């Protein structure tokens, strides 16, 4: 049955891809390749000397085929479909905690404030080892994540490992709403601040609610913080942009190979406020829907963009239903801001012979004009109007920022310190920073570079060939030398590293809300945004 099911999926998958490229290949070529695959698959499963697993083989084939396209085109089995639905809607019966797979283990990374997980005493860093009667030693962590969810008011029993001790917890699930606006406040008598982290189906409603509350408090200028916002629903991005620009304005255009999938998205409602000065904060993790909002407000000269260049995701995906409850999410179009620019950074279509994906920003970027005639460029994300002065990140710093080291250190810090100052007063000491540097040089810290991986592979090969012991001293000396060089590369980015680490520690004590409370008091981007809004002549000069 599984074999037939997977063959059906392959057939439909190839059919969908054929349609999505506008019948680029003729029917004979598609039928030919399907027949080759079917006959090969049949012969392999019937006559290969050892027992094969048809489902696993087909899954490998699907994953390999899609990996040649882009990272956003993906196949979802039944469990994956459910997980994607939960992520998109931001609502489900659950325990109210973020989880992550770290080193093959399912780890609690953040219990939401006042959630069932929080009230039951779960802590960031807890390793889930058992869900009800199911041991995670025998269940893939990605599958186990779904077991945490269930009908509201149902109970789930968890066994977690905390500092080497086993803790049993019983939690009553409830409806969990992921708040896209975890924090907003007046920064002074005039300037309001809204942190905005997710484009789920509640995003525009929450931004509107926050905006109207701040207006009632006397807000005359606005900072919209979309740093780290990875995007989400396109219609929510259009709706939020509509708050600040007139009805019937183009916000974004999508262009697909299949004509019916190309579309122009315009504002449909009267705006909330056409006059309020706005600064939008973005960073290298602001992507997709975040870039639509920032790009359209920039193109229409409605906001000053501050921070660093955004991620550069100008690709549009759509879900297509396959057989047996599975789905294919595939890239069907590129999106374009009102000036006509596409800000996609990576050119997945033109990989080099080694499989490396080139960047559009490494070639000649095309110039476009905003509504007031300012020059903006396509390719490589949204370039801010005011780029914050910062030291360029070293490769070691990039690796560190993408690692689990900050989380792992913050968990240890939380376990060792019962309390810290209030979120707006917390400041990382030099001793704490030095402890962090010592920590990341230890095995298991979560900070591993490409060089570290290659060194580990080298030692493994040397061990296989029988001379690992003879080079042990030289190898250890090389490892220690590389550790010192990594630290050297980090020091020019010390300020950013301290800031990220401070936020991670504060979140362990005061949740995500506490992180934003700290940011509005210490963050350089927020300080710069306030200064720009204070100087209205500078603000207008940037836009005009």
Residues marked as catalytic: 288, 299, 313
The DSSP code sequence of 447-462 is ---HHHHHHHHHHHHH
Q: How far apart (Å, rounded) are the C-alpha atoms in residues 410 and 414?
A: 6
The helix (run of H) or strand (run of E) holding residue 369 is: strand 367-369
Strand arrangement of the beta sheet that strand 221-225 belongs to: 183-186, 191-195, 221-225, 278-282, 304-307, 386-387
Phi/psi of residue 146, nearest 5 degrees: -70, -30
Return the DSSP state at 348: G
Which residue bears the tokens 């919209």?
224
Query: CB-based contacts of 38: which residues, under 8 Å, 6+ apart?
Result: 7
Q: What is the b/e burial string over 322-349, where b = at least 16 CB atoms within 10 angstroms of the residue's CB?
A: beeebbbbbbbbbbbbbbebbbbbbbbe
Phi/psi of residue 67, nearest 5 degrees: -65, -20
* Angstrom distances, CA of residue 68 to CA of 21, 62, 287, 357: 15, 10, 22, 11
The DSSP code sequence of 303-319 is SEEEES------EEEEE
- Specify whether the CB–CB gap between 313 and 294 falls below 8 A: no
What are 471's two structure tokens?
């080079």
- Specify whether the CB–CB gap between 173 and 153 falls below 8 A: yes
Q: How far apart (Å, rounded) are the C-alpha atoms in residues 2 and 525?
A: 53
- Specify whether the CB–CB gap between 279 and 222 falls below 8 A: yes
Query: For residue 202, how many other CB atoms are within 10 A of its CB?
Result: 20
Query: CB-based contacts of 223: which residues, under 8 Å, 6+ apart?
Result: 187, 191, 192, 193, 194, 278, 279, 280, 281, 526, 529, 530, 533
What are 125's two structure tokens?
């860093």
Angle (CA) 502 505 509, round 5°: 130
Q: How far apart (Å, rounded) are the C-alpha atoms in residues 242 and 237?
A: 9
Alpha helices in 48-176 (DSSP H): 54-67, 78-89, 116-119, 141-147
- Specify whether the CB–CB gap between 227 and 307 falls below 8 A: yes
* Residue (of 367, 386, 362, 377) closest to 528 by Cα position: 386
């Amino acid at each position: 049955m599984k074999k037939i099911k997977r063959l059906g999926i392959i057939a439909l998958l190839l059919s969908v891809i054929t349609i999505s490229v506008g019948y680029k290949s003729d029917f004979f070529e598609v039928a030919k390749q399907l027949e080759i695959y079917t006959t090969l698959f049949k012969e392999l499963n019937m006559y290969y000397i050892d027992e094969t697993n048809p489902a696993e083989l087909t899954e490998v084939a699907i994953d390999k085929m899609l990996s040649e396209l882009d990272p956003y085109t993906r196949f979802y089995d039944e469990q994956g479909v459910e997980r994607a639905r939960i992520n998109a809607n931001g609502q489900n019966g659950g325990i109210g905690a973020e989880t992550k797979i770290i080193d093959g283990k399912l780890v609690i990374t953040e219990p939401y404030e006042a959630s069932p997980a929080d009230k039951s005493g779960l802590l960031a860093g807890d390793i889930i080892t058992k869900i009800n009667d199911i041991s995670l030693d025998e269940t893939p962590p990605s599958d186990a994540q779904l077991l945490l969810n269930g009908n509201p008011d149902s109970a789930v029993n968890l066994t977690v490992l905390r500092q080497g001790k086993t803790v049993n917890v019983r939690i009553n699930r409830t409806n969990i709403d992921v708040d896209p606006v975890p924090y907003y406040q007046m920064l002074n008598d005039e300037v309001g601040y809204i942190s905005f982290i997710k484009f789920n189906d509640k995003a525009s409603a929450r931004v509107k609610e926050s905006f109207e509350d701040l207006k009632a408090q006397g807000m005359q200028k606005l900072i919209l913080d979309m740093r780290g916002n990875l995007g989400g629903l396109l219609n929510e991005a259009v709706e939020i942009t509509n708050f600040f620009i007139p009805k019937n304005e183009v916000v974004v255009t999508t262009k697909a190979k299949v004509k019916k999938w190309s579309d122009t998205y315009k504002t449909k409602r009267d705006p909330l406020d056409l006059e309020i000065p706005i600064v939008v904060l973005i960073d290298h993790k602001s992507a997709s829907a975040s870039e639509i909002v920032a790009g359209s407000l920039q193109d229409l000269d409605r906001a000053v963009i501050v921070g660093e260049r955004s991620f550069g995701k100008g690709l549009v995906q759509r879900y297509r239903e396959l057989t047996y409850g599975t789905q294919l999410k595939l890239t069907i179009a590129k999106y374009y801001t009102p000036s006509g620019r596409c800000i996609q950074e990576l050119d997945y279509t033109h990989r080099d012979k080694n499989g490396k994906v080139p960047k559009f920003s490494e070639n000649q970027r095309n110039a476009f004009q905003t509504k007031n005639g300012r020059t903006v460029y396509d390719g490589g994300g949204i370039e801010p109007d005011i780029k914050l002065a910062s030291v360029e990140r070293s490769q070691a710093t990039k690796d560190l920022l993408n690692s689990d080291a900050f989380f792992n250190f913050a968990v240890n810090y939380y376990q060792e310190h019962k309390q810290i100052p209030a979120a707006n007063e917390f400041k990382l000491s030099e001793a704490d920073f030095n402890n962090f540097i010592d920590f990341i040089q230890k095995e298991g810290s979560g900070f591993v570079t490409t060089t570290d991986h290659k060194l580990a592979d080298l030692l493994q090969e040397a061990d296989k060939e029988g001379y690992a012991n003879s080079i042990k001293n030289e190898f250890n000396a090389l490892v220690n030398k590389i550790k010192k060089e990594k630290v050297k590369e980090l020091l020019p980015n010390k300020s950013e590293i301290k800031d990220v680490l401070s936020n991670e520690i504060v979140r362990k004590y005061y949740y995500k809300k506490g992180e934003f409370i700290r940011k509005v008091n210490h963050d350089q981007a927020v300080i710069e945004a306030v200064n720009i809004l204070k100087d209205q002549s500078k603000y207008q000069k940037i836009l005009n």
